[in-house]
Amino acid sequence: MAGIDPVAHHAALDARLARAAKPIRLLNLASWPASEQQTFLAGWARGNPRLPAPVYPKVTFDEVRRELAAIAAAADPSHPLGQYLVESTQGWTLAAELLENLGSSRVTDLSIALFGTPDQALPGGISTREAANHFLRVADTLDRELVADVEQVQVSAEAMALRLQAELDEFFGGRVIDVVLDPDLIAKAAAGARRIRLRSGAAFSDYDVQQLLQHEAFVHSLTALNGQQQPNLPSLGLSSPRVTATQEGLAVFSEQITGSIDIERLKRISLRIEAVAMAMAGADFLQVFRFFLESGQSEVESFTSAQRVFRGVPTTGGAAFTKDTVYLRGLIGVHTFFRWALKHRKLRLCHWLFAGKMTLGDVLRFEPLFQAGVLVEPRWVPPWVARAHGLAAQLAFSLFANRIRLAQLGSDSEAFDIFDM
């Protein structure tokens, strides 16, 4: 590539990537219509539930895959932008193949290639599923008397939309993101760059206000908005499949560091991981639905949770859509990254994570590009990121507290006498 400006070259390739990937709407095409929920729950009420059999659209992406292959071939893998483009085209190609195979067990293998499995290892030698079971045990043993009455108050979707819209308008100083109600949405919420959808008729908790603000708006929407403003890499505004673990991990970390997460939220995330493992081991939709029901979820939420596990795959068992395994793995990865960044005096990297949708590896490789101005600073960041000193204080305490091994403490009051001296 002698004599070629590498930034201009890869910027042109990225513009092609953004156009090519636009029709690959993974979650939209794999999700079920709301009518599936109505039909299933009506049968459940009659005592005659039947396995859902959603009909998926038939799509082909032959031309898209050829364009993605051409982009990858033209990229220089020794350049940070070229490496990003090669890896991104690989992720989009897998997503395109997954969508072409909707309704078949082949989706499981492609889903695993994109998102991993419940048994995927975490730092420290434990698996994602083992970590999930830890949080489930904590949730099951938590004294219910610790839960305040306000945490159990139900908030309607209409009231939630008004509260969330007011928070966003205040943050932006005007209308940048619209909060709308969607009767066809099965998930409770979904975020894009300019719109956040809430499921009509859904009941929310008081915790959900801040969870949705921090998770959906201040991560998913902000990274999309900031990515769209990158002059040389606008594909950072797209929800590339390869960035899912970092995106969801960053979103849940945002809940955690702002005190917006509760143990029930961690329980829901962990139950989904266990449900994915069950489905892969042979459980059908009805068995997974009952698993969520017996774990304390309502019939509607149990259907919603089970639907997430069976998106795009047969509902008869032995197959799963594994995206939900990334939430906990991503949270642990992002939390570890933030602590590492503090230790190595690189907290600026954490700020740059909001400049678009990227992986942890991307932001490390992009460091010289941010410093050179090839990639621009994020226009918007969540308040907790803007308050760098507060973030540093929390991370510094986390770094130190992790040096204390609970296993070395006794089980009685004498173990804490040292703190009283």
- CA 59 to each of CA 22, 34, 95, 96, 229: distance values in angstroms, whole numbers, following the listed order: 14, 21, 12, 9, 30
Q: Are 369 and 254 in contact (CB under 8 A)?
A: no
Backbone angles phi, psi at 166, to 5 degrees: -65, -40
Query: In whole angstroms, what is the distance from residue 281 CA to residue 274 CA?
Result: 11
In sequence order, what DSSP letters do the residues of 138-203 get, joined into one string?
HHHHS-GGGS-GGGG-EEEHHHHHHHHHHHHHHHHTS-SSEEEEETT--SSEEE-SSEEEEETT-E
Could you tell me the two tokens for 393? 């204080």
Q: Which amino acid is at 93?
A: T
pTM value > 0.95: no
**Cβ–Cβ contacts within 10 Å for residue 38, how many?**
11
Query: In whole angstroms, what is the distance from residue 146 CA to residue 128 CA?
Result: 27
pLDDT in tens, the chain (421 residues): 556 899 999 999 999 999 999 999 999 999 999 899 999 999 999 999 999 999 999 999 999 999 999 999 999 999 999 999 999 999 999 999 999 999 999 999 999 999 999 999 887 788 999 999 998 998 887 755 455 444 556 889 999 999 999 999 999 999 999 999 998 887 888 888 899 999 888 888 877 888 899 999 999 999 999 999 999 999 999 999 999 999 999 999 999 999 888 888 899 999 999 999 999 999 999 999 999 999 999 999 999 999 999 999 999 999 999 999 999 999 999 998 998 998 889 999 999 999 999 999 999 999 999 999 999 999 999 999 887 767 777 777 766 666 656 555 555 555 444 444 5
Contacts of 253 (CB under 8 A, 6+ apart): 331, 334, 335, 338
Query: In whole angstroms, what is the distance from residue 359 CA to residue 347 CA?
Result: 16
In sequence order, what DSSP letters do the residues of 119-152 get, joined into one string?
T-B-TTS-BHHHHHHHHHHHHHHS-GGGS-GGGG
